[in-house]
Structure 1
Amino acid sequence: MIVSGIEKMPGEERRQLILETLQKAEKPMTGKELGDLTNVSRQVIVGDITLLKAKNEPIIATSQGYMYMHAQEGPGKIERTLVCHHAPEQTEEELNILVDHGLTVKDVKIEHPVYGDLSASIMVSNRQEVKEFMRRIQEANAVYLSKLAEEGIHLHTVIAETEQQIKNAEIALKQAGILGE
């Protein structure tokens, strides 16, 4: 909600505050939260985020809100790409298998027959975040990217602390008939 009587913050100053806030945030922040902080609408925040991204600020939009992507700190963070294939009804099962093995699901990527490579941020690390992601998909009546790909084949970038976490997740995905060959 925009607070009446408070002067609107100048654009550059507002974008700097948004950037600093996202850099310090421990969880994603919604456009509404950032709008409330800076006394502007969510639509203004969307424009500000676009301008910050144009300046190569590593901000991503997730299903939970905006995040500043800090460089991975310290050794031990491992990124892998997993090939998956399943019915849309198995999406929640797939994501739960991954997070149950300690992985963060960073994104989903497909190869579209017309547009080429398409990707979308997911950024889920636990069952509660998966549940929220699924709720938002259903509320928006959104189509899974995998439905736009040939035969539903899609890729997930995952982040793990150890190789063993990834191997265990791959075994579980294969047992569920989800891991692609």
Structure 2
Amino acid sequence: MNSKERRTYIEEILKKSNNPEKGHELAEQLGVTRQIIVKDIAILRAEGKKIIATPEGYLMPKEQKSIVKRVMAFSHKTENIEDELKVIIKFGGIIEDVIVEHPLYGEIRGMLMIKTFYDVENFIKKINKYKAEPLLILTGGVHLHTVVAENEEIIKNMIKELKEKGYLISD
């Protein structure tokens, strides 16, 4: 299989998959190194393919008929992360990313693609396992999330509860 055929194969796998595909697993399937997969993904992205690298692997977002996408501003302590994420998921939202504004580096964005309670639990487990500091510590708790939902009603309901809990930064 040449490199073009390999990239076509990777693209097809990502289009069909409902879950992230790990780079090392793709490499094993194709008999190449993980670094070759990283390069292939970079080339596919440069060609305009929407491929997202998450901590769980690569994925291509599915086309949705009508979605509402909103960037929301939050401010809270580290211990509230799990609850904040679960409120969004509870109403059917997807947390695409987390964004903080750093005084030296400017905008720092981490891709999350959290869709389920299971994803939230895994995210929290990784924070604890790696003793990782979440990005919000860089800004005293202030951060943004890009949230996607099927309709405006879902967004409205999650905003209501997030405000009640004091997580959202009000206008």
Both proteins in one fold, TM over 0.5: yes
2:171 is the counterpart of 1:179: no
- 1:98 alignment partner, SS class: helix
Task: Sort the Cα spacing of 1:158 and 1:54 in 2 relative to 1 into closer, same or farther, 3 A.
Answer: same
Partner of 1:60: 52
Task: Sort the Cα spacing of 1:167 and 1:137 in 2 relative to 1 into closer, same or farther, 3 A.
Answer: same
Partner Cα separation in structure 1 for residue 109 and residue 163 of structure 2: 23
Alignment of 1:1-181 (within 5 A): 9-70=1-62, 72-75=63-66, 77-149=67-139, 151-181=140-170
Length-normalised TM-score, structure 1: 0.85
| C-alpha distance after superposition, 1:20-66 (max 9, x if no partner) | 11111121111122112212232322222122222222101112211
| 4+ residue segments displaced more than 4 Å | none
Partner Cα separation in structure 1 for residue 123 and residue 47 of structure 2: 28
Task: Sort the Cα spacing of 1:124 and 1:174 in 2 relative to 1 into closer, same or farther, 3 A.
Answer: same
State the aligned residue count. 170
**What amino acid does structure 1 have at the position aligned with 2:8?**
Q
Partner Cα separation in structure 2 for residue 163 and residue 27 of structure 1: 26
- 2:72 alignment partner, SS class: strand
Give ranges in structure 2 of 5+ residues lacking alignment.
none
| C-alpha distance after superposition, 1:119-154 (max 9, x if no partner) | 1111111101111222233333332121223x3211
Q: CA deviation at 1:113?
A: 0.6
Partner Cα separation in structure 1 for residue 17 and residue 142 of structure 2: 34
Q: CA deviation at 1:108?
A: 1.0
- 2:128 alignment partner, SS class: helix
- 2:7 alignment partner, SS class: helix
Partner Cα separation in structure 1 for residue 12 and residue 53 of structure 2: 16
Length-normalised TM-score, structure 2: 0.90
Give me the CA root mean square deviation.
Answer: 1.7
